[in-house]
Amino acid sequence: MSRPSVRADIALRKGYHSPQVVVDVRLNTNEAPVAPPPGFTEALHSVLDNINWHRYPDRAASALRSKLAERYERTPAEVFVANGSNEVLQTIMLTFGGAGRTAATFEPTYALHSHISKTTGTSVVEGDRRDDFTLDLDEVRRVVDEHAPDVLFLCSPNNPTGLVDPPNTVEAVLKIMEGTNGLLVVDEAYGQFAHSSAVPLIGEDVPLVVSRTFSKTWSMAAARLGYLLGPAWLVAELDKVVLPYHLDAFKQAAGLAALDFGEAMDERVASIVEERGRLIEALGDLPVTTWDSGANYFLFRADAMGGDELWQALVDKSVLVRNCASWPRLDDCLRVTIGTPAENDALVAALREILVH
C-alpha cells in the first residue's frame, strides 16, 4: 500500500529541535535554573481535588485571562492564552497568514517565526540585521516597501542574540508599516529580563501584539503556557481560529496559581540578571567574544576554535549549550542559558580547560 504524500514544502523541511543530551550541566534551552517556589506546588496540589475531570475546561480560560489582564492593567478581552507562546504565534499565523500572504523576519532571529509561518503556508521574506545584530530601520523600510508583509516579526530580547529593541524602535517600525494593513508581532518571551517592553504601546487602533510565556520567568517550561496582549478586536479573531477547549483545566489552574507568586518570580528574575552579569564578566578573561544581552542567555564565540568543535568539547565535559554555528550569520556562535551559580562556574571551568592551554 502506498503512503499518503505530505505537502511538498513540508517534505523538504527539517523540524525545529534542540538536542536532548544527558549531561551534568544543561544550559541550552533557556529554561529557568530553579523550580517554582514550594508554595506554588502546594497550591497546585490543592487545586487537583477541585478539577471536574469529566467536564471540559473553561473554553475561554476566563479566570486566567482576567488575572493576567489585572497584572498588566489591561482588560480580559485584550488577553489571549495558549499552549506556550509558540501556539500563540501559530494562531496568529493561522489568522493573519496563509497562502498568498507574507511574513517578514530580520535575521538572525528566533527560527520558529519563519518555521511556523511556512508551516501555515505563509511566504517568508528575510531582512538582515546590522553587523552588531541591532535592527536596521532602513532595512525594515526596504522590506516593507518591497513586500508589504501581512505580519512582521520582531523578537525582543532577540533570540539568540539577546539584544533588546527599545520602545522608540518599535514605534518607528509601526510608523514604517502605516498604510500596509500589516500586523507587528513583538515576541517578548524573555521580556521580563529586559529593561523595556512594547506592552505600553498596545492600543485598539495600533496593529501591535506582544507575546509572552510562563516558561522562563515563572519556571514553568513543563506546563507549556503562553499568552498574548493585544487589541480586543484582534484577540476576538484569534478566538475564532484556536481549537475548542485547547487549554486544559490543570494548565489554567497552574497559570492562576503562578500569578499569586509574582513577587517571588520578580526576585528570581533579578537574581538571574545579576548572575548573567557575573558570568559574562567571568568570560571576559577567556579568549571569547560575547554580546550584551537583556535575556536569561547570551551569545558568544571562541576567538580561535570553531563552534561545532567547541560545542562537542563542552559536551565531552558534560556541559550542554546551544550550538548556533549553522544559523544565519552566526558562524561559530554558541548560546548559553544562565544557570545556577554552580552550573555557571562549571561552564567557565570547562571553557578554561578547553581554550586556555
pLDDT tens figures, 254-284: 999 999 999 998 999 999 999 999 999 999 9
Smallest CA-to-CA distance from 35 within 189, 200, 220 is with 220
Neighbours of 31 (CB within 10 A): 18
Angle at 181 between CA 175 and CA 185, to 5 degrees: 70
Low-confidence ranges of the chain (pLDDT < 50): none
pLDDT tens-digit series, residues 185-215:
999 999 999 999 999 999 999 999 999 999 9
Between CA 242 and CA 152 the distance in angstroms is: 21
DSSP 168: H
**Topology adopted by domain 52-261:** Aspartate Aminotransferase; domain 2 (3.40.640)
Give the DSSP H/E element, type plus range, for residue 336: strand 333-337
Between CA 155 and CA 53 the distance in angstroms is: 37
Strand partners, 285: none
**Residue linked to cell 524602535:** 169
Q: Is 66 exposed, middle or buried (0-12, 13-18, 19+ CB in 10 A)?
A: middle
pLDDT at position 357: 67
pLDDT at position 13: 56
Neighbours of 9 (CB within 10 A): 10
Pairing mode, strands 288-290 and 297-302: antiparallel
**Would you say 122 and 98 are in contact if contact means Cβ atoms under 8 Å apart?**
yes
Note the residue count of the chain. 357
Domain ranges, ordered by start, for the chain:
8-36+263-355, 52-261
**Residue linked to cell 501584539:** 209
Neighbours of 162 (CB within 10 A): 24
| Whether pTM exceeds 0.85 | yes
Q: CA 151, 154, 155, 158 torsion: positive or negative?
A: positive
Q: What number does CATH give the domain 8-36+263-355? A: 3.90.1150.10
pLDDT at position 2: 75
Pairing mode, strands 102-107 and 151-155: parallel
Question: DSSP labels for 187-223?
Answer: E-TTGGGSS--SGGG--TTS-EEEEEESTTTTS-GGG
C-alpha cell at position 114: 519563519
pLDDT at position 138: 98
pLDDT at position 4: 82
Between CA 238 and CA 95 the distance in angstroms is: 6
